[in-house]
Amino acid sequence: MVMMFDNIPKISSLLAGATVVFALGFVLLFPQWLRRAAFPPNAPKEVTEGSLFTGRLKFFSDRHKFYFQCKALSRSGNFSQYLGNHQVVGLSGLDGRRTFYEAKEMDVEEGYNLFFVTNPSLRGPAKLPINIPSYRFQTDLIRAMRTENLKKRLPFMLRSTAASINRLIDHAVPVRVIDPFEELDLAGDSNNAVV
């Protein structure tokens, strides 16, 4: 009986320590939660998938399942969520695709940088000028993906793809060994010709 009561001070000090850590975390994180920017009025409805922490953890552990669960919770298939102070918007369907490619508010680079903690973030006056290569690539890609451009380039793309596949087959048959770097170079030449 005496041994059982000997552990009570240890347990109570562990509980007190855990309570202090939880309270300190709450005090530090709550002001950030209050300062996060509100979604624009035309943004999709905010959904909460799971609890505040486990739902957000699923974003990093099983993004595919996270996306489809949030999509199912939304009537339109589009949804919004906060990931810390970051606004995450999930889009689906043709209207979602159009919004993704045409809305200036959708910053692909910022969304991509969210996945990598080590990337520097530039805000305010330090923001890079608009003529950076990634911005030009993004605008060229958006322009190339428009329906009228795809219709205009489709015959050339089909011919180029068929020619590349025939070159790959012709090259691979006599050698019977495929060098993936050489094959990717041939495929890259075909893609560059189309764009």
Say how far apart CA 72 and CA 60 lie, in whole Å: 19
Structural tokens at position 12 = 């109570």
Q: Which residue has the tokens 């939304």?
A: 74
Closest CA to 85 of 150, 6, 30, 16: 30
- Name the residue ranges covered by the structural domains of the chain: 53-106, 147-185
Residues of the chain with pLDDT under 70: 1-12, 14, 25-35, 49-56, 108, 112-135, 172-173, 175-195
Buried b (16+ CB within 10 A) or exposed e, 140-177: eeeeeeeeeeeeeeeeeeeebeeebeeebeeeeeeeee
pLDDT at 123: 53
Report pLDDT for 61.
Answer: 79
Q: What is the pLDDT of residues 41-71, one digit of tens each?
A: 888 888 876 555 556 677 777 888 888 888 8
Looking at residue 134, what is its pLDDT?
64
Task: Say what the pLDDT of residue 71 is.
Answer: 87
DSSP string, 65-133: HHHHHHHHHSSSS-EEEEETTEEEEE--HHHHHHHHHH-TT--HHHHHHTT-TTS----GGGSPPTTSH
pLDDT, residue 194, reads 52
Q: How many residues does the chain have?
A: 195
pLDDT of residue 167: 80
Q: How do residues 26-38 score in pLDDT, each as one tens digit?
A: 666 666 556 677 8
> What pLDDT does 9 receive?
60
pTM of the model: 0.46
